Amino acid sequence: MEKIRWYLLNKKKFFLTVILFLSSLILSCAFDQFSKVYILKNSSRDFSFFGGLIIFTFQKNTGGVFGIFPGNSKFFSAVTISAVIFLLFIYIFLFTKNKLVTIAIGLQIGGALGNIIDRIRLGYVIDFIDLHFWPIFNFADVFIVIGAILFGISFISRT
């Protein structure tokens, strides 16, 4: 009841919070997908940045995070869809006025959708960011991790 009262009294803030959520979700997913399209179109060559510290190189990932359990794309699609539904549940039913949490959930869902789009469209996830000391990943993974860090920061700062 308290949340409904807040919505009615703060329609503008509610609307702006939803816009913030949708913006972080859409922008993160779109950036991820555009970067993957570019890499896919240029998959025959590598791109080096910062004197070779970072290399963009095309790699198919049919497994989970860091390529674990390759060949299980359908399983990881189901896990990703479940995670998106869970995060949407958190956002919708446990709606928060905290902007950091709103952005965090938007980034996590946007990243997850970026990877699920790959799995549905291609049967694998396009990974391409190679740091040499870490398994190859993509921007969707970056957004998911940033979202998790923001989520953690928001809870730490509350205590």
**How many domains does the chain fold into?**
1
Select the more confidently predicted residue: 4 or 61: 61
Residue 10 pLDDT level (bands cut at 50, 70, 90): confident
**Catalytic, out of 32, 118, 127, 130:** 127
Specify whether the CB–CB gap between 20 and 107 falls below 8 A.
no
Least confident of 48-57, 61-70, 145-154: 61-70
The pLDDT score that the predictor gives to residue 3 is: 62
Active site residue 32: no
The two three-digit tokens of residue 134, written as one number? 């870490």
* pLDDT exceeds 90 at position 46: no
Q: Give CA–CA dist 60/18, Å, rounded.
A: 34
Specify whether the CB–CB gap between 114 and 135 falls below 8 A.
no
Active site residue 141: yes
Range of the domain at 16: 2-158
The pLDDT score that the predictor gives to residue 108 is: 96
- Residues 6 or more apart whose Cβ sits within 8 Å of residue 53: 131, 132
Q: Give CA–CA dist 105/92, Å, rounded.
A: 11
Residue 159 pLDDT level (bands cut at 50, 70, 90): low
Question: Cα 16 vs. chain centroid, distance in angstroms?
Answer: 21
